[in-house]
Chain A
Amino acid sequence: MPDQLIFGMEVFLNGLMAGVLYALVALGFVLIYKASGIFNYAQGVMALFAALTLVGIMEGQVPFSHLINAIFGTEVHHFGWHVPALAAILLTMVVMVALAWVVNVLIFKHLVNQEPIILFMATIGLAYFLEGFGDMMWGSDIKTMDVGLPQGINEVIDTTTAGWFGYGFFIDNLDIVATVIAAALVFTLIVFAQYTKQGRAMRAVADDHQAALSVGISLNFIWVMVWSLAGFVALVAGIMWGTKSGVQFSLSLIALKALPVLMLGGFTSIPGAIVGGLLIGVGEKLFEFAIGAPYLGGATEIWFAYVLALIFLVFRPQGLFGEKIIERV
């Protein structure tokens, strides 16, 4: 087998794994968009905030320590204990649910029946607030996250492929774990939405507020639930990205990568978010490998996704799986 093809296969697999992480972030967007019609710009920052909180709790960091020290002239930074990863994840989830509740009560409850663009602006405000709030609460230094997920080269794949092709593939264990977790998450979400009372109520609210009220669904409850779900997805994405590249504020920018994913997959489709994520992950890696690096001087990964999205906007604006846009006259 020619070397180029074998390299190409490795690139393809790595692209698939990267795509899973894109899909995870995009999934958070789709969830909120489907249930409330809000395009949540803050999804990426929520992932960052979840990751910050998780590390903070695990390390026993004192929240708002800079603020406390500045006001009271004290020197507290750490409680001096370490919380096990699983307990810390559960505590972080509690924080994310609380955040969902506060966001609903303070902001979105008051914006019922407003134009989508107003809701969108509100989420931009939320994004900047949350970024600053996370900074104030946990500090802005880059943190490493280690919740015990396996990392480094997968030996089994390395030796097997070496046996087959005479060249071992480099696949990160973390990427494999991320793929498995993402698949489980998506499966759970789909079952939840399709077959449970709350899932059905969620779809009902997304479809028609008045009708939902008339069958006895509390809009506020559903909204808090949806934002909590988005918080949960953000937490999972935050853990994956945080473990991969450290918890830093540029994490919030991965939200921007989710935009082209959504344009490919369609804003209303959960399978679309996954396929879109995978396509962009694979697409940008393969493009860089086959065309970008040899002919264009490299670094095409930065813009490839956006150009692809642009092409989609021209030829298929509803995305691969989005609902067809039909205007009745």
Chain B
Amino acid sequence: MLDQTEGYTTEDGRKIGGVVMEMKNITLRFGGVVAIQDISFDVREGEIRAIIGPNGAGKSSMLNVISGFYNPQEGEVWYKGEKRPQMKPYQVAQQGIARTFQNIALFEGMSVLDNVMTGRIRQMKSGLLAQSLWKGKAEREEVENRAFVERIIDFLEIQHIRKTPVGRLPYGLKKRVELARALAAEPSILLLDEPMAGMNVEEKEDMSRFVLDVNDEFGTTIVLIEHDMGVVMDLSDRVVVMDYGKKIGDGTPDEVRSNQAVIDAYLGVAHD
């Protein structure tokens, strides 16, 4: 069992810290349908934590619980050592949990730069009046945040499309812009909902590289959902496996790979 406070060191020598978020006995129901049933797991600082499972396993629901879009009927979410009260999604975002969406939710009419700038809203403190008058502190703030955003844009190699309206971009680039917007928030936890869904092999490789680089460069804790088993096993430090709303496995990629319940869920098993 892992230690609660100290963390561990990965094979490639990265230091993983203490528990930053813990889900305790989460149960989520939609009417009579149980989407998530009594699931617990933790997320440690600096690690890449994957949630995998077949279609309809409840992975996206779990991400929506973490980001406040769904409120579970039972269970507790602990964040940075404190129990989190029921929150609206925008409040969760203001606490430093950024996310992307499976179906991409970008501001299609706005430029790439503006989209990424919206990610900085949490960092921009000056009030409505100061912003309207556009003086002193507000102006300095805008310039500083702009500089940070340009760094993110460089990092994700999307400089050439900075001024392009997002609506005109191809799918793969949109995914990258969405990642940029989430990163701009300097999140303490970054939630990625199927970052590689619908991509070709090349785009998948690019995206995997970015996810690893982000984790490496900024030390960002990442929770991601992914279908592609190969990608998940390469990327993540620890994996939660879900099936039909239940947790059927939790551990390092190697542990999960050799878990009989996981093999059954993915390959199918004869029911007598």
Q: Is residue B60 contacting chain A, with contact meaning CB distance below 8 A?
A: no
In the complex, what residues of B have CB within 8 A of residue A323's CB?
A: 109
- Give Cα distance in the complex from A239 to B108, angstroms: 37
A204 to B109, CA, bound (A): 9
**A200-235 to B contact mask, C-beta < 8 Å, 1/0:** 110110111011111111110000010000000000
User: With a CB–CB cut-off of 8 A, which chain A residues contact B112?
Assistant: none
The answer, yes or no, to whether B67 is at the interface (CB within 8 Å) is: yes
Q: Which of B105-127 contact A (CB under 8 A)?
A: 105-110, 114, 117-119, 121-122, 124, 126
Cβ–Cβ contact B101 & A214, under 8 A: yes
| CB-based contact B134/A218 at 8 Å | no
Count A-B pairs with CB separation below 8 Å.
89
Interface flag for A192 (CB, 8 Å): yes
- Roughly how many angstroms separate A208 CA and B101 CA in the complex, as a whole number? 12
Among B93, B124, B132, point to the contact of A213 (Cβ < 8 A).
Answer: B93
Is A164 interfacial (CB-CB < 8 Å)?
Answer: no
Q: Are B142 and A218 in contact (CB under 8 A)?
A: no
What's the tally of chain A residues with a CB closer than 8 Å to chain B?
A: 27
Give Cα A215 to B109, complex, Å: 17
The listed residue (A192, A206, A217, A225) touching B121 by CB distance below 8 A is: A217
Contacts of B67 in A (CB 8 A): 214
**Does residue A198 face the partner (Cβ distance < 8 Å to B)?**
yes
Q: Which of A191, A200, A213 is close to B117, meaning CB atoms less than 8 Å apart?
A: A200
Contact B93 A196, beta carbon cutoff 8 Å: no
Q: A203-B110, A214-B89 are in contact. Are A197 and B101 (CB under 8 A)?
A: no
Q: Is A72 an interface residue (CB 8 A)?
A: no
**CB atoms of B90 and A197 under 8 A apart:** no
Q: Are A197 and B131 in contact (CB-based, < 8 A)?
A: yes
CB nearest neighbor in B for A323: B109
- A207, B134: Cβ atoms under 8 Å? no
Interface residue? B99 (CB, 8 A): yes
Contacts of A216 in B (CB 8 A): 90-91, 93-94, 121-122, 185
CB of B121 within 8 A of CB of A210, answer no
List of A residues within 8 angstroms of B105 by Cβ: 208, 210-211, 214
> Within 8 Å of chain B (Cβ to Cβ): is A195?
yes
Task: State which of A188, A198, A206 has its C-beta within 8 Å of the C-beta of B131.
Answer: A198
Inter-subunit contact A203/B114 (CB<8 Å): yes
Which chain B residue shows the least CB distance to A207?
B107
Complex Cα distance A199/B114, Å?
11
Q: Which of A188, A203, A213, A215 contacts B119 (CB 8 A)?
A: A215
Does the CB pair B107–A211 fall under 8 Å? Answer: yes
Contact of A225 among B118, B126, B128 (CB under 8 A): B128
Query: Is B138 in contact with chain A by the CB < 8 A criterion?
Result: yes
Q: State which of B98, B106, B134 has its C-beta within 8 Å of the C-beta of A208.
A: B106
Cβ distance A324 to chain B, nearest Cβ, rounded Å: 12
B185, A215: Cβ atoms closer than 8 Å: yes
- Is the beta-carbon distance between B107 and A203 smaller than 8 angstroms? yes
A192 and B132 CA atoms in complex are apart in Å by 6
The reply to whether the CB of B181 lies closer than 8 angstroms to some CB of chain A is yes
Which of these, B108, B131, B181, contacts A215 with CB under 8 Å? B181
Question: Is the beta-carbon distance between B101 and A215 smaller than 8 angstroms?
Answer: no
Please give the residue numbers on chain A whose beta carbons come within 8 Å of chain B beta carbons, in ascending order.
188, 191-192, 195-201, 203-204, 206-208, 210-219, 225, 323
Could you give 24 example pairs across A and B, Cβ below 8 Å?
Answer: A192-B131, A196-B131, A196-B142, A197-B124, A198-B131, A200-B114, A200-B121, A204-B110, A208-B107, A211-B107, A212-B90, A212-B107, A214-B89, A214-B93, A214-B99, A214-B182, A215-B121, A215-B122, A215-B185, A216-B90, A216-B122, A217-B90, A217-B118, A323-B109
The 3 closest A-B pairs by CB, nearest first: A216-B93, A211-B105, A207-B107
